[in-house]
Each structure stands twice: as C-alpha cells, then as structure tokens.
C-alpha cells in the first residue's frame, strides 16, 4: 500500500509542481493587480481633488463675473449716451448758479445806484 501510494505521489509530482507554479504565478499577478488598483485609486483621488478645485474656481469665477457685471451696469448707467443730454444736464446744474449770480449783480447794481442818488 505504501508502495502504491508512493508511486502515485511520484506520478502526480509533476502535475503538483505545475499546479504549485501556476498558483505561485497567480499570486504574483494578484499582487501586481493589487498594486495597480492602489495606484489607480490614488490617481482617481487626485483627479477628484483636481475636479473639486476646478469646480471651486468656476464657482468663484461665476460669482466674480456676476459682481463685475453688476458693477459694469451701474457704471454704464452713469455714462451719458448723448452729448446733447450731457449739455442739458450741465445747463440745468449751472442755471441756478447763473440766476443767483445775476440776482447778486442786480442787487449790487441797485445798491450802487442808490448810493449815487443819495
């Protein structure tokens, strides 16, 4: 019996060695795949962080654009679109000053005339 068992072991030895070699090769491949998976996870994490950074920049740029657009609208509303309108505005602003100075001159002339007659 022992002899039969030893003979079977010897006959199966090459097959066992071949299977052990295949198992060893498969274990190495598993290790390589695990390393690749870890590298891919790290790369995916870096890409995700970069994506979030870009989203943040886009969000900030959108906010800045809105802010600058509002500011631009305010400034554009202050710009006179036609020189005629500007002249009318300036004339309207200067008119009370002109009337005041005309009134002041008239009073001065009246006072001077009154002194001459006295």
Q: What is the pLDDT of residue 9?
A: 83
DSSP string, 78-115: HS-S-HHHHHHHHHHHHHHHHHHHHHHHHHHHHHHHHH
pLDDT tens track for 70-82: 999 988 887 767 7
Q: H/E element holding 1?
A: none
The SS3 call for residue 53 is: helix
pLDDT tens track for 4-46: 878 888 888 999 999 999 999 999 999 999 999 999 999 999 9
Q: From CA 64, how far away is CA 58, in angstroms rounded? A: 10
Task: Give the CA count within 13 Å in the CB-facing half-sphere of 34.
Answer: 6
Q: Is residue 108 pLDDT above 60, yes or no?
A: no
- Please state the pTM of the whole predicted model: 0.48
Domain boundaries, the chain: 19-79, 80-118
């Amino acid at each position: 019996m022992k002899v039969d068992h030893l003979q079977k072991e010897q006959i199966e030895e090459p097959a066992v060695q071949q299977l052990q070699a295949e198992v060893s090769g498969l274990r190495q491949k598993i290790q390589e795949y695990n390393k690749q998976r870890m590298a891919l996870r790290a790369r995916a994490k870096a890409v995700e962080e970069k994506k979030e950074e870009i989203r943040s920049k886009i969000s900030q740029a959108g906010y800045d654009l809105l802010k600058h657009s509002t500011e631009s609208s305010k400034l554009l509303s202050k710009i006179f679109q036609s020189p005629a309108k500007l002249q009318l505005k300036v004339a309207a602003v200067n008119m009370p000053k002109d009337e005041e100075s005309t009134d002041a001159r008239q009073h001065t002339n009246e006072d001077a005339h009154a002194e001459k007659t006295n």
